[in-house]
Structure 1
Amino acid sequence: MTRAQQVGVLIGLAIVAALTILRASDPPLLKQARDLTFDEYQRIAPRTFENLPVKVVDIDEASLREFGQWPWPRDRLATLVDRLTEMGASAIAFDVLFAEPDRLSPRTVVRDVAGIDPTLLGQLPDNDEIFAQAIAGKPVVLGFGLSNEGSYRPQVKAGFAFTGENPAGAPPRIKAATPLRPEFEANAAGIGHISLNPGDPSAVVRAVPLFLSDGEQLYPNLALEALRVAQGASTYVLAGATNVPNTITMVKIGEFVVPVTAEGELWLYITPDTAERYISARQVLAPGGAAPEIKNAIDGSIVFIGTSAAGLQDIRTTALGQNVPGVSLHAQTVEQILSGRFLSRPDWANGLEILSIAAMGSLLVILTTFVSPAVALVCGLLITVMALVASWLAFFYAGLLFDPLAPIVSGSITHFAATSFRFLVIDRERRAVRRAFGHYLSPSLLYRIEHTRNALRLGGDDRELTVMFVDVRNFTEISERLTPAEVVLFLNTLLDALSRHVIANEGTLDKFIGDSIMAFWNAPVDVVNHANKAVHAALAMRETLARLNQDNAFGFGDEQKVGIGIGIHTGLACVGNMGAETRFNYSAIGDAVNIAARIESSCKEVSFDILVSDSTAEMLPGYALLEAGALALKGKSMRTRLFAVVGDDKIGRTAEFVQLQAIHAQLIEALRLRSSSSRKFLRIVKLQAVELTSGLPEFYRRISRRSDHFIDQPAAKDRSPGICIRSG
């Protein structure tokens, strides 16, 4: 491990530690993001509405139009209680506050009129008394709200049993309550708080506290009291976590067991609001009695009485993003308990999420530092997908709430930080190597070295290569006229311009040998039509050199034109990294390399700038090629048949070249037979060659001067007939 990698790991782990501590502190922003994630889960798969024995008697707009504005006189509410009791309601819960006397009571109205005989007051009906009598002995649950003034505490109608320590310190605290009329408090079968999210700044109701506490006494909520009264139960059984004071894990109400948070809250699993849950109060209070379908819906049901009228401002927002009457959330609380479809966030969920941040972050730091950012990114994406899938499956099948967002965001931050450090520090040396060797190696080779394990190991592979050698003509004469600095400048100008064509044609630039270039094709990766691309590079070098000479790029003027010779051969060679363990080069060796070097040297004998072997020529159908003889190359026992490259396949299709090629073939045959007609053919081809390229006339002049060197005798160890040009 390098020092840079050690520093990178330490910085990465420090970032992971900071993110872990941040998650452990659970700031409001993270909590809000977690809540939004759980909201989205419910929107994707909300709880299915079931026609359970829970109904909302809604004081809706139609009821207000029928019976007048709210608040209604309490004698009408008494009638509502009587009607619901007659229909068989198992519990009647009012999501309404009864904190003040009924201002519409006849006794109250008359009391405020001046000059009325006080003795008449006792003879007038009192709506509060009527309502108190109506709820007496009936399964009626009244609600109370929270207040910041006074010290009133409502009467608790139920008993409590605890398994473990008293959890009175767990629920949200109650300072004071809105007072109930004493006669109502005495006659009600149950009393519960109607607060849905006390102390929560969010407008969305996600969890409801089943209890409030003043530190000593627990106060149940309206829905819980309605369920208790409907069952005729008298006691709540609360279970707390073992050895953890002031926590609640479970609540038992009669036959039902409810999982809750440590604070005694129930996560709401919401259904989309539906008209099937509601019955208009107007239908219950209809003159002559309610319709049979209304009676059937009420019979045996827990009934909540509340209002959906917009002007009464009891509208809440659910996790599904819907605005619903607050009373419907009390009803949904009971529906959820009856259906057994709960959401819960285990006590160990926070610990698991914190641990996942630390573990995943450390893994990403290691992968990014020692493997590659790409692998770390793939692993991070896989972990992200796994976290999302696991979180979703836990929600969908078990109702468990695990936050996938915090580990994912923390992992993304960690990966970005580790990748940035690697790019700025750890990979700086690698980028320097790429900048240096990018001038000499093909992009494919660089890519293989960077992305292939053990790509730089010593050893080689036998591959078919097309090998090229390029050499500057008369370099000794040129260098004698220049200073060393001018020689370097000349070579840099020439070799840079020529080598660009190797790279451009997907070749590998092997090395510079003084004034020569060695390059090859089809390694380290396969190159389609590698012989074709090598010859394209050679033709491009010819054009580039002509342009440099024309533009006087070397500063020689018209006194001297720079020339080159190019030899190309296709054959089997060993290619790979060669040298020592600590210092090596990617190169090729073998007979194919030697033949290509000898062909380049033969360019002087043939007096042509580009020569290719017969094995290369076979891979160039349609190209403008002219046979240059079967040459006995230096150091080679077998003759090698060579071809001069006049141009590419476009030149090969021209009428001029086709005609030249036919006469050239006749010339070669005449020379082979020592026919006197060879001179006639020489005159014709020299005239036609001028029109194609400036190099051909000299090529034919050389043939004419050395025609006596064309013989029919094979080279040593070669009994096949051919033409051999020897040095003379």
Structure 2
Amino acid sequence: MTRAQQVGVIIGLAIVAVLTILRASDPQLLKQAREVTFDEYQRVAPRPFENLPVRVIDIDEASLREFGQWPWPRDRIATLVDRLSEMGASAIAFDILFAEPDRLSPRTVVRDVPGIDPSLLGQLPDNDEIFARSIAGKPVVLGFGLSNEGNYRPPVKAGFAFTGESPLGAPPRIKAATPLRPQLEANAAGIGHISLNPGSASNVVRAVPLFLSDGEQLYPNLALEALRVAQGASTYVIAGAANVPDTMTLVKIGEFVVPVTAAGELWLYISRDTAERYISARQVLTAGDISPDVKAAVDGSIVFVGTSAAGLQDIRTTALGQNVPGVSLHAQTVEQILSGHFLSRPDWADGLEILSIAVAGSFLVIVTTFVSPAVALACGLLITVFALLASWLAFFYTGLLFDPLAPIVSGSITHFGATAFRFLVIDRERREVRRAFGKYLSPSLLYRIEHTPNALRLGGDDRELTVMFVDVRNFTQISEQLAPAAVVGFLNTLLDALSHHVVANEGTLDKFIGDSIMAFWNAPVDVANHGSKAVHAALAMRETLARLNAGDAFGFGGEQKVGIGIGIHTGLACVGNMGAETRFNYSAVGDAVNIAARIESSCKEVNFDILVSETTAKMLPDCALLEAGALGLKGKSTRTKLFAVIGDQRLAASAEFAELRSIHQQLVEALSSRSPSSRKLVSTAKLKSAGMAEGLPEFYRRISRRSEHFLREAAEKEAGAAE
């Protein structure tokens, strides 16, 4: 691991730590994003509406047109209660506050008439008393609201049983309540609060508090009281967390068990608003017989009395984005409990999401730093898909709410930060290497250098190299016939075509020296079978040059053919960055380089285009090679055995080459012994080599001249001895 990578990992993990801490603190913005995500889930798959025994008696616009503006006199409300009770309603819950005396009561109206005899007031009816008598003994639940004034607390009509630690500190706090009329308060079968989202900054009702608390007493909400009264239950059983005070986990009302949040809230799983849920109050209060359909809908049902009239301003927004009467949300609360379709967010969900940020973020930092941003991006996309899919499936099949955005957004920020650091710092070193070596190395070698920190060390490094020199034959003569610009064009065309094969065979282009190319293999990184790859590059050069000549790529009109000589040697050399501090080249020096250069020069003497040393030939057991003799190289005290490269493995495996190689070996032995049979063997070899390689005829003509030279020397020695 390089220092830059170490710094990158530290910075990346620091980003992950900050994001993890941020999620643990759970700021309001993250809460809102999480809630919006859960809203979208419900919009995709809302709770289906079921024809359950829950109805809303709606004081709608039609009812107001029929019976006058709100508030109605409470004797009419009493009539509503009587009729609903007669139709068999199991509970009648009012999402209406009865805090003030009925101003339309005859007793109240007459009291304000000047000169009225006070003794007559007691003989006039009072609507509040009428309403109180109507609800007495009936399953009627009245609602109360929250107030910031006074210290009134409504009476609690139910008992409470706790399991585990006391949950009194869990629900939202109640300071004071709107007082109910005393006679109504006394005669109601149940009293519940009607607040849907007290203290919430959002207009969307997503969860309703089932209880409020003043620290000493719990106060149930309207829906819960209606369900209790409808069952004839007397007690709420509340389960708290073991060894964790002031939390709730479950609430049992009669036969129903409701999962709640730690604060005693019920996540609303909303169904779409539908006319089947509502019955107009006008249909219940109308004179004459009530519709059988209305009677059937009310019979055995929990009914909530409220209003959808826009002017009465009891409109709420649901998670589905619909504006609905507030009373319908009380009804939906009971529907949800009856259907058993709950949403819940486990206490450990926050811990799981925080852990996912830490784990996924750390994983992305490691992948981005040590593998590649592209792979990290692919991993990030997989994490995103997994988080979304897991969150959706948990919601759809189990009703569990897990936030997919926290790991997704945090992973995206982490990936961006780690990628930016890698691009600006870590990959800068690789870009410098790519700029320095991109023109001289194959992409595979570049990749290995970039991902192997110790592969490229500045300074000299002794390595076994296979060195190649390539030179253009008769370049002086060619350049004399061309203008300078044409010479440059000729060299660019030729050297570009030839150097391509060095790079393609994992070689390193060292330099261009006029009309020559120097290249080597096995540096700056190890290259397997480097001798073989160098020879294959040379054979490819031979084929490319033949194609260029055949196509008159140099514009010589087909009359003049361009030839090259290639010398290859394998040996120890020093390779590294050489030159001044401000300008240097990656190059190789040493005896192996000198020998390769001398072998290339020997191509002229041997009359063949590709020659390799014996050390390189030993690395080519499958290539078609012919011994070219032991030649004295300039600057070397001993002769060096060279081999001509005729072709690749396919040619070496052919029967024709096997026969030629046998004849050639006999020829070499005949030349060594100055045997006259060398003349015949040369002729046979010429014949057998026809068409096998373009340069072979010239190669054997040179051998023929050597043979004649040796034979003359032998004849002269014999003549001298005879004298």
TM-score (normalizing by structure 1): 0.71
Match of 1:621 in 2: none
Query: 1:124 Cα deviation (Å)?
Result: 2.1
Match of 1:342 in 2: 342
| Residue pairs, 1:551-566, within 5 angstroms | 565-566=563-564
Match of 1:673 in 2: none
Query: 1:5 Cα deviation (Å)?
Result: 2.0
Query: 1:384 Cα deviation (Å)?
Result: 2.1
| Residue pairs, 1:157-556, within 5 angstroms | 157-443=157-443, 446=446, 471-472=471-472, 499-500=495-496, 507=504, 510-512=508-510, 514-515=513-514, 516-517=516-517, 534=544, 538=548
User: Is 1:724 aligned to residue 697 of structure 2?
Assistant: yes
Deviating more after overlay: 266-275 vs 492-501: 492-501
Query: 1:469 Cα deviation (Å)?
Result: 7.9
Letter in 2 for 1:132: A
> Is contact 2:468–2:569 with CA below 8 Å preserved after alignment?
no
3-state SS, counterpart of residue 123 of structure 1: coil
3-state SS, counterpart of residue 389 of structure 1: helix
Deviating more after overlay: 17-26 vs 380-389: 380-389
> Is contact 1:470–1:600 with CA below 8 Å preserved after alignment?
no
Query: 1:600 Cα deviation (Å)?
Result: 12
Match of 1:110 in 2: 110
Query: 1:52 Cα deviation (Å)?
Result: 0.6
Match of 1:671 in 2: none
3-state SS, counterpart of residue 304 of structure 2: strand
Query: 1:71 Cα deviation (Å)?
Result: 1.1
Query: 1:532 Cα deviation (Å)?
Result: 12
Cα gap change, 1:476 to 1:198, in 2 (>3 Å)? same
User: Is 1:74 aligned to residue 42 of structure 2?
Assistant: no
Cα gap change, 1:471 to 1:210, in 2 (>3 Å)? same
> Could you tell me how far apart the structure 2 residues matched to 1:603 and 1:273 are?
100
> Could you tell me how far apart the structure 2 residues matched to 1:86 and 1:502 are?
104
Letter in 1 for 2:377: L
Letter in 1 for 2:335: E
Cα gap change, 1:718 to 1:492, in 2 (>3 Å)? closer
Can you give the 5+ residue segments of structure 1 that lack an aligned partner in the other structure?
A: 457-466, 480-489, 547-562, 587-593, 613-630, 642-710
Query: 1:503 Cα deviation (Å)?
Result: 7.5
Query: 1:717 Cα deviation (Å)?
Result: 3.7
> Could you tell me how far apart the structure 1 residues matched to 2:320 and 2:42 are?
7
Match of 1:668 in 2: none
Cα gap change, 1:350 to 1:495, in 2 (>3 Å)? farther
3-state SS, counterpart of residue 197 of structure 1: coil
> Is contact 2:209–2:264 with CA below 8 Å preserved after alignment?
yes
Match of 2:673 in 1: none
Cα gap change, 1:261 to 1:289, in 2 (>3 Å)? same
> Could you tell me how far apart the structure 1 residues matched to 2:569 and 2:315 are?
82
Cα displacement string for residues 544-574 of structure 1 (whole angstroms, at most 9, x for unaligned residues): 899xxxxxxxxxxxxxxxx9745799xxx99
Query: 1:291 Cα deviation (Å)?
Result: 0.5
| Residue pairs, 1:63-102, within 5 angstroms | 63-102=63-102
Cα gap change, 1:719 to 1:535, in 2 (>3 Å)? closer
> Could you tell me how far apart the structure 2 residues matched to 1:66 and 1:430 are?
83
Deviating more after overlay: 108-117 vs 242-251: 108-117
Query: 1:423 Cα deviation (Å)?
Result: 2.0
Cα gap change, 1:27 to 1:721, in 2 (>3 Å)? closer
> Could you tell me how far apart the structure 1 residues matched to 2:542 and 2:75 are?
103
> Could you tell me how far apart the structure 2 residues matched to 1:131 and 1:541 are?
111
> Is contact 2:490–2:554 with CA below 8 Å preserved after alignment?
no
Match of 1:653 in 2: none
Query: 1:98 Cα deviation (Å)?
Result: 0.7
Query: 1:437 Cα deviation (Å)?
Result: 1.1
> Is contact 2:361–2:411 with CA below 8 Å preserved after alignment?
yes
3-state SS, counterpart of residue 31 of structure 1: helix
Match of 2:40 in 1: 40
> Is contact 1:565–1:601 with CA below 8 Å preserved after alignment?
no
Match of 1:134 in 2: 134
Cα gap change, 1:273 to 1:602, in 2 (>3 Å)? farther
Deviating more after overlay: 324-333 vs 122-131: 122-131
> Could you tell me how far apart the structure 1 residues matched to 2:413 and 2:349 are?
22
Cα gap change, 1:523 to 1:58, in 2 (>3 Å)? farther
Match of 1:663 in 2: none
> Is contact 2:42–2:320 with CA below 8 Å preserved after alignment?
yes
Cα gap change, 1:475 to 1:137, in 2 (>3 Å)? same
Query: 1:75 Cα deviation (Å)?
Result: 0.9
Cα gap change, 1:545 to 1:340, in 2 (>3 Å)? same
> Could you tell me how far apart the structure 2 residues matched to 1:503 and 1:133 are?
108
Letter in 1 for 2:321: G
> Is contact 2:57–2:304 with CA below 8 Å preserved after alignment?
yes
> Is contact 1:140–1:188 with CA below 8 Å preserved after alignment?
yes
Cα gap change, 1:214 to 1:715, in 2 (>3 Å)? farther
Match of 1:664 in 2: none
> Could you tell me how far apart the structure 1 residues matched to 2:361 and 2:212 are?
40
> Could you tell me how far apart the structure 2 residues matched to 1:536 and 1:63 are?
101
Query: 1:171 Cα deviation (Å)?
Result: 0.5
3-state SS, counterpart of residue 142 of structure 2: strand
> Could you tell me how far apart the structure 2 residues matched to 1:183 and 1:412 are?
62
Query: 1:61 Cα deviation (Å)?
Result: 1.1
Letter in 1 for 2:688: S
Match of 1:50 in 2: 50
Cα displacement string for residues 676-700 of structure 1 (whole angstroms, at most 9, x for unaligned residues): xxxxxxxxxxxxxxxxxxxxxxxxx
> Is contact 1:336–1:342 with CA below 8 Å preserved after alignment?
yes
Letter in 1 for 2:191: I
> Could you tell me how far apart the structure 2 residues matched to 1:534 and 1:320 are?
71
> Is contact 2:510–2:587 with CA below 8 Å preserved after alignment?
no
> Could you tell me how far apart the structure 1 residues matched to 2:444 and 2:89 are?
81
Query: 1:267 Cα deviation (Å)?
Result: 0.4
> Is contact 1:167–1:247 with CA below 8 Å preserved after alignment?
yes
> Could you tell me how far apart the structure 2 residues matched to 1:639 and 1:121 are?
132
Query: 1:455 Cα deviation (Å)?
Result: 11
Letter in 2 for 1:193: H
Cα gap change, 1:639 to 1:220, in 2 (>3 Å)? closer
> Could you tell me how far apart the structure 2 residues matched to 1:715 and 1:455 are?
52
Match of 1:626 in 2: none
3-state SS, counterpart of residue 195 of structure 1: coil
Cα displacement string for residues 563-596 of structure 1 (whole angstroms, at most 9, x for unaligned residues): 9745799xxx999x9989999999xxxxxxx9xx
> Is contact 1:502–1:537 with CA below 8 Å preserved after alignment?
no
Query: 1:374 Cα deviation (Å)?
Result: 2.5
User: Is 1:143 aligned to residue 106 of structure 2?
Assistant: no
Query: 1:451 Cα deviation (Å)?
Result: 8.2
How many residue pairs were aligned? 588
> Is contact 2:472–2:564 with CA below 8 Å preserved after alignment?
no
> Could you tell me how far apart the structure 2 residues matched to 1:536 and 1:52 are?
90
Cα gap change, 1:453 to 1:392, in 2 (>3 Å)? farther
Can you give the 5+ residue segments of structure 2 that lack an aligned partner in the other structure?
A: 457-466, 480-485, 522-531, 578-585, 589-595, 611-625, 630-640, 648-678, 691-695, 706-723
Cα gap change, 1:718 to 1:169, in 2 (>3 Å)? same
* Aligned-residue identity in percent: 72
> Is contact 1:110–1:116 with CA below 8 Å preserved after alignment?
yes
> Could you tell me how far apart the structure 2 residues matched to 1:421 and 1:373 are?
11
Cα gap change, 1:435 to 1:163, in 2 (>3 Å)? same
